[in-house]
Homo-oligomer: A and B are copies of this chain.
Amino acid sequence: MSIEKLDTQRKRRASAVGSRMEDVASLAGVSMITVSRAINTPDKVSLATRKRVEAAIRKCGYVPNLTAGSLASNKSRIVAAIVPTIDNSIFAETIRGLSETLAAGGYQLLLGQTGYDEHNEEAMVAAFLGRRVDGIVVTGIDHSALTRKRLRQAGIPVVETWDLTDRPIDMVAGFSNVGAGHAMARYLLAKGHRRLGFAGGADGRTRARLTGFMAAIHATRGAHLQQVLLPAGTSFHGGREALAALLDLDSSLDAVFLSNDALAVGALMECARRRIRVPQELAIAGFADLDIAAEIEPALTTVQVGSRKIGEQAGQMLLARLAGQTVNNPIRDLGFAVVPRASA
């Protein structure tokens, strides 16, 4: 028996997971590369051989090892996405849009949730880059210096989302949070409100909304931003507590802007419990236009931002770049719109 045969029959160190490409090749009477091509670029193989290879694949239940393929080709067909959380949140829709767009292009999604902790983001970015993901989507435009450096050096397409900047790491798909906050303030001011409150998380996007919100208020005679509350997440219960806290501090507020719809819905519920009439006694506004905003009673005035579209656009930009194309518009302002409903 020749050395080669012995080598081929060596004890498998690997998993119990069936056959290798080599087995398929010999079964079909072709070389490995032909099997590889039959799988990855079927056009480059004659119909006859392709049929033979496919039969062989079925026969031995072959499942290509994508890890080996990734190593050899330096392409993983994985895209990573990092979001603060997917709990009743705006980001769930973004992830869904991204996931479906990527799946259509043959990419899989590696998901990281930071829990709104920037330190987690740093570790996750490092881990994902080590995995040699083909692209990465992050939330927001605020990242540690190290994270930015790593993303730049990685040489892969990167999309920042849910905000806007003219100096992105690579690409960005979002809208102006400052502008959106400003627009909501103008809307509330136009409705005659002058004693305003704000509550939301401490992340960069919420701060940007607050910045815009404040700017418009300060530019208006007689208007005051009475209270601001930053510790809050995306839970309905948190919104209830936030409203209670704001009213404890100043019961004369006439409008409150919550930085996301989950909080705003919670606030609405707290109003219902306290028999505070919305919007007559207190106007409530939210952010993001979740499904529930249009359905709840009273319907929630909010800012529509295309959560799902952000994910789709991010996915499309990535797919384009991964296909070797140039993205002609790497800074995508998807806009926003104040949606006037019953609550404010």
Contact = CB atoms under 8 A, between A and B. Distances in A.
A68 to B, nearest CB: 5
A67 B17 contact: no
Nearest to A295: B236
A92 B96 contact: no
Interface string A288-318: 0011101111000000000000000000000
Contact of A17 (B18, B113, B153): B153
A95 to B, nearest CB: 6
B96 A86 contact: yes
Size bracket, chain A contacts: 35 or more
Contact of A66 (B15, B112, B131, B154): B131
A130 interface: yes
Nearest to A271: B297
A272 to B, nearest CB: 4
A231 interface: no
A237 interface: yes
A153 B16 CA distance: 8
Contacts of A18: 153
A79 to B, nearest CB: 11
Given A240-B295, A292-B88, A17 B71 contact: no
Contacts of A67: 67, 70-71, 76, 131-132
Contact of A112 (B61, B108, B127, B154): B108
A155 B17 contact: yes
A270 to B, nearest CB: 9
Contact of A78 (B17, B100, B110, B266): B110
Given A126-B63, A131-B66, A95 B86 contact: yes
A64 interface: yes
Interface of A: 13-18, 61, 63-68, 70-71, 74, 76, 78, 85-89, 92-93, 95-96, 99-100, 103, 108-113, 115, 126-132, 150, 153-155, 235-237, 240, 265-266, 269, 272-273, 290-292, 294-297
22 contacts: A14-B74, A15-B74, A17-B129, A17-B154, A61-B153, A63-B150, A65-B130, A66-B131, A86-B92, A86-B95, A87-B92, A87-B96, A88-B290, A100-B113, A108-B112, A108-B128, A109-B111, A110-B110, A265-B295, A266-B295, A269-B296, A292-B292
